[in-house]
Amino acid sequence: MISKQPLVVEVLRGPAVESVHQVMIAVVNESGQLLHAWGNPQYPTFPRSAIKMLQALPLIESGAADKFQLDEKQIALACASHRGEKDHLSALSQWAEKIQVKESSYVCGAHLPYNEASAHDFIRRNQSPTPLCNNCAGKHSGILTTCLHLGEDIKGYENYEHSAQKRLRKILTETMRIDHSKAPHGVDGCGIPTYAVPLQAIATGMSVFVNSKETPARKTACDRILKAIRNNPFYIAGSDDFATAVIEKTQGRAIIKGGAEGVFAGVLPDKKVAFAIKVADGAGRAAQIATVQLLLQLGGMTIDEAKALSKFTMPQITNWKGDVVGQLRIAKPQ
């Protein structure tokens, strides 16, 4: 299905529509050919954290993961936006010890854990968050590990002209089939460059994980990343998180990853399809319900699985007392 109309998510308060979110979607096959679209598949956007699986490829393909004996949890963390829970921080700390890098070398900055209980624990202990608490610390660990394996100076690894960023541009150019050296770029929340590309290019990039015609080396790396995430969904995000819940509930039939400003990307390995989603106004609440709707349509999730994830699939609007006062829903096509 190719529709010029975006998918519309309505926010109701009582019987009235209070807000509307427009969602662009691109779905491609294993060769990157467009299968389905809602709205403009060429809509340019920053993929943000939704493509961390692609950014983790050099960690595997360079041999760095093997040299430093990274386990599956750490490979999953390289693709993660973790929520700063105890097990996340423990695995990241062990990783930093393996590569002998101090936290002061991480340029991602520090913030309180996204997991509310973990954040409260930091506050109770009067403990300051460190860069490993940053949700992108796994990605940065992967970049640092690859640099060290290749004998590169890690200082300034976030800069556009550093070899680490040139390597990431090369990977993204190869997989998305669009020259990232010519793409508009900005600085992501964690400090490294991020590139504005068409939505379909993001989906095409993700199709590398389901493309049976990839080179043996790349296919091996992709399969290793998928296996690590499928076996360790907690480490891709964390407790009470949408992405982790979807991967767990579908037993890895759907591998998804979110990014800031209403972006999601993912793959259905059994169906040999990949997708990218962007909410025009950046609303994450709309991105989640749109992702579930898409997974249902593509056969990546059953109705029973969607019902089991009702807090995400049938989100409700509540007031401060906890009373339900509204809901989110997919609008009926005009």
**Cα dihedral sign, 39-45-48-50:** positive
Count of domains forming the chain: 1
Confidence of residue 334 (pLDDT cuts 50, 70, 90): low
- Distance CA(56)–CA(58), nearest Å, equals 6
> Domain residues for 217?
2-330
Q: What angle do CA 320, 331, 34 make, to 5 degrees?
A: 120
pTM: 0.96
Rg (the chain; Cα; Å): 19
Amino acid symbol at 223: D
**Strand pairing category for 316-318 and 2-3:** unpaired
Which SS3 state, helix, strand or coil, does residue 65 take?
A: helix
CA distance 237 to 135: 8
**Measured CA angle at 138 (ends 132, 141), to 5 deg:** 85
Q: Which residues does residue 267 pair with via DSSP β-bridges, in sequence order?
A: 255, 274
Residue-wise pLDDT for 82-136, tens only, equals 999 999 999 999 999 999 999 999 999 999 999 999 999 999 999 999 999 999 9
The predicted-structure confidence for 18-42, as pLDDT tens digits, reads as follows 999 999 999 999 999 999 999 999 9
Q: Are strands 7-13 and 44-45 parallel, antiparallel or unpaired?
A: unpaired
Specify the CATH number for the domain of residue 74.
3.40.710
